[in-house]
Amino acid sequence: MKKNKNYDGISLHYKIWLTSVSGEGFMGDGKWLLLKTIDNLGSLKAAADELKISYRKAWGDLKKIETFINIPVLERQRGGKNGGTTILTEEGKKLVRTFDKFHKETNVKIEKAFEKFLIELQTK
């Protein structure tokens, strides 16, 4: 099949987020990345700085997750000589792992659908 040059520059971009029945978002790519970054850095402040979001926004996003699923996702230890730490609870780690898996499975399906879309666009 001959490729139509009009469609060479198309790329796929999408975000995944989960909402309540009323439509209020509580978990998505941004919050998932925040949780993963906290897990890697061991600090909410460091994660917020790394992601270039305010500490207040990061804190609010985490409270939104915890409120919606009614499970704590963070364990916090206040200051001290070397400062405080923030780590994910086992439930928080499970949330990250299951969202990772969900995301990977969804990516495969969306990418296949996108390939099909491009083929159909190029078919005369």
Supply the CATH number for residue 102's domain. 1.10.10.10
Q: What is the mean pLDDT of the chain?
A: 88
Residue 95: inside a domain: yes
The whole-number pLDDT of residue 64 equals 93
Residue 123: inside a domain: no
HSE at residue 98, side-chain half, CA atoms within 13 A, is: 8
Residue 114: inside a domain: yes
Total count of domains within the chain: 1
Residue 1: inside a domain: no
Domain that holds residue 86: 19-118
CA dihedral (92, 93, 99, 102) positive or negative: negative
Residue 8: inside a domain: no
Residue 7: inside a domain: no
The whole-number pLDDT of residue 82 equals 63
pLDDT top residue among 40 and 83: 40
CA dihedral (30, 86, 65, 110) positive or negative: positive
This prediction has a pTM of: 0.80
Residue 58: inside a domain: yes
pLDDT top residue among 7 and 77: 77
61 in Cβ contact with 74 (< 8 Å): no
Q: Which residues are CB-contacts of 121 (< 8 A; sequence separation ≥ 6)?
A: 4, 7
Angle formed by the axes of helices 29-41 and 55-69, to 10°?
110
Residue 69: inside a domain: yes
Instruction: Render pLDDT for 27-44 as a digit per residue (tens, 0 to 9).
Output: 999 999 999 999 999 999
